[in-house]
Amino acid sequence: MMTRVTRKELISVGIDIGTTTSHLVFSRLVLQKDTERHTERFVIKEREVIHQGPVHLTPFLNPATIDLQRLRELFLADYAAADLSVLDVDTGAVIVTGETARKQNAQEIVALLAGESGRFVAATAGPNFEAVVAAHGSGAVTRSRETGRTIMNVDVGGGSSNIAVCRQGRVVDTAAVNVGGRLLAVDDKNHITRLEETGRLVSEAAGFKVHIGMEISEDVKKKVSSFLADSLMEAMRGTAQSQVTRMLMMTPPLKLTERIDDITFSGGVAEYIYRREEADFGDLGRELARAITVRTQSLGYNVIEPDHRIRATVIGAGQSSLQVSGSTTFLSEGLVYPLRNLPAVVPRVPRAMTSPEQICTAITDALKQMDLEEGVDDLILAFNDAVRPSYDSLTSFAKGVLKALPKTVSTGRPIMMCFDEDIGNSVGNVMKRETGLTNHILSIDEVSLQQGDFVDIGEPIIEGVVVPVIVKTLVFDR
């Protein structure tokens, strides 16, 4: 008799390529059968950091280009120091953050490093995603669940600040603003050696026209940092009233429907805020931290220290980006993994829609909204509470899906679906049996997707039916 697997250990890597620094963290994740709910689903029960690599200054060939070769060398040395090879790493995420996501080769680099870093490591980018993983990595999400308090985590890096509101163990709102400590950098004689476009514009708003090679005073750094801190406070309050803040906002503002109880800061600038670092690295980081501290005190904010500061994003990327599917999936044997960067198409299919024609129309409408071409673009259909588990309903649903995907069917491309309920296997089986479909089918469940999500799916890790899933964003803002 076959022994059922109830526990699985994975090694995960988080790699953060930031505006100022780049670093990685290895973690051990323990998956266990969810005995509390008496289901067949596996959940991540334990997360443990097993190795933290050193914090490296992000190498650049020029202001617009990241030095991929040097970055590779640094990370390979970190793998060796951890006594791990790429084959030892089961999963994880590479995230490019802040101004780095705007560099010419950012998309290429994050994809290459993801492919070289382990068996199933995702390439990710985007300010809202950064805000979520930093909130997890800082400990703010866990603290909100344990204390019942609403916590705002503000991750202040070199090029951006990513804000997440955490309530009852969930991130309920996010925003990002182009406020960071390395929008402008100088040498030991205060000559500007690095100037992001945002840094130039904010300096201009503060009354200073600056350029590369120009010598600036400490007063310039203080005044520019003050402008940045003012904009960050506006973003944290959910307002973007000033012209500077409107220019700096990278996302829509926070909604802030409830009072914030506590504020935590993470990211490199947080090392200064909590006085864990005093050295000046030739940028705005130290002055920005001072300006933030003055403003949070004057506004009466209850600022508390998080579990992790500069490591928050990289820990969150390695420990909190992974989900696992349910064990009631349908996976055709010929599928080739990993499946990467699948855009989630989310048709509005309430259970009251029972005819194949209604299902087909809902899917067709969702494809149009996403500007995706059926039968040409890879995609995954994501359904939320969409089908009743009766055989007739499943049959109508399966026929409606195939009716909406004629080119996909005729060209032999796989049919890929995701459900938030444990019905993936039933849909796949009925689709195969009742339609005579010869295409491969991937039908996973217990994973909820939203429009705008991208999905990576790895090869099965438990009993041939449970797959690792990373839900992410891919926003390379040029």
Domain limits, the chain: 7-126, 140-306, 328-461
Residue 356: pLDDT above 70? yes
Q: What is the mean pLDDT of residues 137-148?
A: 97
Helix axes 391-404, 424-435, angle to 10 degrees: 70
Residue 456: pLDDT above 70? yes
330 in Cβ contact with 439 (< 8 Å): no
Cβ neighbours of 216 (radius 10 Å): 16
Burial 14-38 (b: 16+ CB within 10 A, else e): bbbbbbbbbbbbbbbbebebeeeee
Output the pTM of the full model.
Answer: 0.88
β 91-96/121-125 pair status: parallel
- 3-state SS assignment for residue 397: helix
Q: What is the mean pLDDT of residues 117-144?
A: 93
- Cα separation, 25 vs 460, in Å, equals 24
Residue 3: pLDDT above 60? no
Q: What is the pLDDT of residues 415-437, one digit of tens each?
A: 999 999 899 999 999 999 999 99
pLDDT, mean over the chain:
93
Residue 377: pLDDT above 60? yes
Question: Which phi-psi region, left, alpha or beta, contains residue 77 (left: φ > 0; alpha: ψ -120 to 50)?
Answer: alpha
Q: Do domains 7-126 and 140-306 have the same CATH topology?
A: yes
Angle, alpha carbons 245-160-200 (nearest 5°): 65
For residue 172, what are the CA distances in angstroms to 37, 57, 141, 471, 472? 24, 32, 10, 16, 16
CA atoms within 13 A on the CB side of 4: 8
292 in Cβ contact with 156 (< 8 Å): yes
Backbone torsions φ then ψ of 464, nearest 5 degrees: 75, 5
Q: What pLDDT score does 478 carry? A: 43
Helix axes 127-138, 312-319, angle to 10 degrees: 90
Q: What is the pLDDT of residues 40-91, one digit of tens each?
A: 678 889 999 999 999 999 999 998 899 999 999 999 999 999 999 999 999 9
Q: What pLDDT score does 1 carry? A: 42
- Cα separation, 292 vs 297, in Å, equals 9
Q: What pLDDT score does 39 carry? A: 64
The H or E element that residue 361 is part of is helix 356-370
Q: What pLDDT score does 358 carry? A: 94
Instruction: Indicate the residue type of 243.
Output: Q
Split at pLDDT 50, 70, 90, the class of 321 is confident
- Cα separation, 359 vs 357, in Å, equals 5
Residue 21: pLDDT above 80? yes
- Cα separation, 43 vs 446, in Å, equals 11
Which CATH number is 140-306's, of 3.40.190.170, 3.40.1410.10, 3.30.420.40, 3.30.559.10?
3.30.420.40
**CB within 8 A of 332, min separation 6: which ones?**
414, 440, 441, 442
Q: What is the mean pLDDT of residues 162-186?
A: 96
Q: What is the pLDDT of residues 286-307, one digit of tens each?
A: 999 999 999 999 999 999 999 9
- 3-state SS assignment for residue 95: strand
Q: What pLDDT score does 366 carry? A: 93
Structure tokens at 279: 């050295």
Residue 379: pLDDT above 70? yes
Q: What pLDDT score does 102 carry? A: 86
- Cα separation, 423 vs 326, in Å, equals 9
CATH number 3.30.420.40 given to 7-126: yes
Structure tokens at 451: 């429009």
Burial class (CB in 10 A: 0-12, 13-18, 19+), 2: exposed
Q: What pLDDT score does 248 carry? A: 97
Q: What is the pLDDT of residues 334-343, one digit of tens each?
A: 999 999 999 9
